[in-house]
Amino acid sequence: MTCGKGNDTAFLARYLKKVYSFDIQKEAIDIARERTKDFSNITFINDDHATIDSYIEEKIDVAMFNLGYLPNSASTVITQAASTIESLKKLFPLLNDGAIVSIIFYRGHKGGLDEYVKTIRYLDHSPYQLIERYLTYTDIVEPIVYFYKKIKEAPLSRSHCFWGK
């Protein structure tokens, strides 16, 4: 969902039959395309991930969000809660039952905490089922990763925490 320099895309392409990789920045897509040139199972999409429904019709088994900004870039483009939430809404009906969605949040940069709080608030009241969450408990600015699953059964109870406790 956030191609960046293509590290995650290369990882997914190694294990999955077909990978779609979105980024709103052409700079990121160009770097990722070069990095993954040995793979033939990747389709790059230079567009907002909130437009996913315009590009993908088949069912999806895994989706990966690595939010924030393009590392070591002069660009100030960052992911935003509104489009992240919109893409999660459009993604859900495209997911197979049992599909896994991972989301890494970075709360240290300007806008990162806002995106985290708003997105988690949406997810807490969404059909996405939280299955795992990792953080190091040392610092609020550390990355935090959530794993969600699409399941048919009744919702699990949830308890999110915003402050690492």
Ligand X SMILES: C[S@@+](CC[C@H](N)C(=O)[O-])C[C@H]1O[C@@H](n2cnc3c(N)ncnc32)[C@H](O)[C@@H]1O
For ligand X, the binding residues (CB under 6 A) are: 2-8, 22-25, 28, 48-50, 66, 68-70, 77, 79, 83
**Lookup result for tokens 């709103």:** 24
Question: In terms of CB distance, is 90 or 133 closer to ligand X?
Answer: 90
Nearer to ligand X, 101 or 129 (CB): 101
For residue 140, the minimal CB distance to ligand X (Å) is 18
Min. distance of Cβ 76 from ligand X in angstroms?
10
Report, in Å, the least distance between residue 21 CB and ligand X.
8
Nearest residue to ligand X, scored by beta-carbon proximity: 4
Residue closer to ligand X (CB basis): 47 or 121: 47
Beta bridge partners of 130: 148
Provide, rounded to whole angstroms, the least separation between the CB of residue 16 and ligand X.
15
CB of 97 or CB of 114, closer to ligand X: 114
